Amino acid sequence: MDQKILSIGNAEVPALGLGTYRLTGREGEKTIEQALALGYRHIDTAEMYGNEDVVGNAIINCGINRADIFITTKVWPSNFSKKKFIPSVESSLKRLRVDNVDLLLLHWPADDDTNRLATELLSECLHLQYAKHVGVSNFSLSQLQKAQAQAPIFCNQVEYSPYNNNNILLQYMRGQNMLLTAYSPLARGTVLHEAIIKKLAGKYQKTASQIVLRWLLQQDNVAAIPKAGSEKHSLENLQVFDFELSEEDMLAVFQLAKK
Ligand code: NAP
Q: What spacing in Å lies between the alpha carbon of 20 and ligand 1's midpoint? A: 8
**Mean confidence (pLDDT) of the chain:** 97
> Torsion angle of alpha carbons 15, 20, 26, 27, nearest 10°?
-90
Q: What spacing in Å lies between the alpha carbon of 150 and ligand 1's midpoint? A: 31
CA distance 183 to 223: 9
| Nearest residue (CA) to ligand 1, atom 38 | 183
Q: What is the model's pTM?
A: 0.98
Q: Has 49 been annotated as catalytic? A: yes
pLDDT tops 70 at residue 178: yes
Number of separate helices (H) and strands (E) present in the chain: 10, 10
Pocket of ligand 1 contains residue 203 by CB under 6 Å: no
pLDDT tens digit string along 84-131?
A: 999 999 999 999 999 999 999 999 999 999 999 999 999 999 999 999
pLDDT of 259: 65
Mutate to test the pocket of ligand 1, among 158, 184, 207 (most ligand atoms within 8 A of CB): 184
pLDDT tens digit string along 124-167?
A: 999 999 999 999 999 999 999 999 999 999 999 999 999 999 99
Question: For the chain, how many residues are written?
Answer: 259
- pLDDT band of residue 199 (cuts 50, 70, 90) is very high
152 close to 177: Cβ distance less than 8 angstroms: no
Closest-CA residue to 173 (of 181, 161, 163): 181
Task: Work out the angle at residue 206's Cα, subtended by the Cα atoms of residues 64 and 36, and round it to the nearest 5 degrees.
Answer: 10
